[in-house]
Amino acid sequence: MGMKKTAACDGYASLPNTPLAEWRGGWGIVLAACAGVATSALLSYSSSLFIEPLQQEFGWSRAQIVSGNAIAALAGALCAPFTGLFVDRLGPRRLGIAAVIAMCLATAMLGLTGPQIWNWRALWVVVAIAIVLIQPSVWTAAVTSVFTHSRGFALAVTLCGASIASIIIPPLTYALIEEFGWRLAWAALGGIWALFTLPLVWFFLSSARDRERLSRAGSPASAAGRAPGRLRDSGILTLRYAKLALAGVSIAAVVVTLGVSLVPLLSSNGLTRAQAAGTASLLGLSSIGGRLAIGMLLDRKNGRFLAAVCVSLPIIGLLILIHNPGSLLAASIAVLIFGLSLGAELDIMAYLTSRYFRLENFGFLFGTMGGLIGLAAANGPLVFNASYDALHSYVPAMWAAIPICLVSATMFLILGPYPSLSPSETAT
């Protein structure tokens, strides 16, 4: 593919250095990575449809059923840094193929659930292993290693996989349950998803590290590991990384919480449940649009300023909701604004991590950040809804979210200009 080594990719072999040439050589990698991201969302958008069938079959409470998801989410968040280390050492290709196989098999195995709740939770431990393997750092590392000039948009297209999954998986899962019952639906879902995604990942997923390893097998330069002292040199202990991580955690705690709690939030704000559900559907479309638009802008504008604007957008949406209770139009505008910010959040974090730190450490750095963001995203809805239980209103929690957005924007602004990195340099 006419690859040559450039400093721009920080020690990785890169595709030719024009946007068009990058896409000509790397479109397959983006396609495979997009399919991988969609696979990582397989259970996020399907498991809720199995709640009622499992209740009818075994009499479990919803909390007991959802406890399986909590096991997997916690494992993914805690192990994300280690997944990133494996990406840096092994390259995304081998880990990505194993991740897709593991995820589809684990999904199919959920159909083996027995009448004891421990059996259900044990199967989710298997799912947790797949979740650990299929972290976003696997797919974003492949894309960032071969895209430089069009990296922002390439990452945006890659991460649209989750939005595509949110459109396809729920109706597919519903149809499978209705046609085959919940047990066979699990197996069919895993099988169908593997049939479409595994070939894409097998034939197209690669990275500069993988290509260098294959072309120079056995030479010291192709070794995927790092020297023991490199962890400190990666930049993870710098003030800049702490600022970036705090910015990501802060905005994730707001936008993910708003997305997860959108229907009850709008219902408590004066809309009927039907209106709230219909308005909430705007979130997915807005997030796709926001993700692609921000991706293109990241390739043209300074990312920290763009990030500061994006994380400030929820403030406008929150103020609209607070001051216009019961208004369907106001709620629709607010949801569209939330979607723009939600769609941009992970793209911005991946892009800025690749710009401020060395790409040879991207998997570890973004994996660690992804784990922190995952913990914030998991606990944000708990705090948000606990506030409602105590105060019988979401308004105080909405007011509290505004300064959190401002903290995130401030952290982005004080990151400073992009450093000029070479393989021997670190971020400060």
| Per-residue pLDDT tens over the stretch 410-425 | 999 999 998 875 543 4
**Which tens digits make up the pLDDT trace of 45-100?**
888 788 888 889 998 887 788 778 778 878 888 888 889 888 888 889 999 999 99
Mean pLDDT of the chain: 84
Mean pLDDT of 4-27: 61
Rounded to the nearest angstrom, the gap between the alpha carbon of residue 53 and the centroid of all alpha carbons in its chain is 28
Q: Is the pLDDT of residue 252 over 50?
A: yes
pLDDT at 392: 86
pLDDT band per the 50, 70, 90 thresholds, residue 16: low
Instruction: Give the pLDDT of residue 219.
Output: 47
Overall pTM > 0.95: no
Which has more pLDDT, 238 or 217?
238
pLDDT greater than 70 at residue 10: no
pLDDT for 8 beyond 60: no
Q: What pLDDT shows up at residue 227?
A: 38
- CA atoms of 387 and 397, how far apart (whole Å): 7
Half-sphere exposure of 271 (CA within 13 A, CB side): 23
Q: CA-CA distance, 39 to 134, in Å (whole number)?
A: 8
Position 38 scores a pLDDT of: 93
Look at 72-86, 156-170, 257-271, 412-426 and tell me which has the smallest mean pLDDT.
412-426
- Summarize the confidence of residues 209-221 as an average pLDDT: 61
Contact 296, 153 (CB under 8 A): yes
Angle of the 51-58 helix axis to the 151-204 helix axis, nearest 10: 50
- Cβ burial of 2 (10 Å; 0-12, 13-18, 19+) is exposed
How far, in Å, CA of 409 to CA of 251, rounded?
9
Indicate the SS3 state at residue 60: coil
pLDDT at 152 over 50: yes
First and final CA of the chain: distance in angstroms? 34
Beta-bridge mates of residue 4: 14
pLDDT of 228: 33
pLDDT interval class at 388 (50, 70, 90): confident
Q: Give domain limits for the chain.
A: 11-222, 230-413
Domain 11-222 falls in which CATH fold?
Answer: Growth Hormone; Chain: A; (1.20.1250)
The band of 337, judged by pLDDT with boundaries at 50, 70 and 90, is: very high
**Homologous superfamily, domain 230-413:** MFS general substrate transporter like domains (1.20.1250.20)
Euclidean distance between CA atoms 353 and 235, whole angstroms: 10
Predicted confidence (pLDDT) per residue in 344-381, tens digit: 888 899 999 999 998 888 888 988 888 888 888 777 87
CB-based contact 51:160 (threshold 8 Å): no
Fold match between 11-222 and 230-413? yes
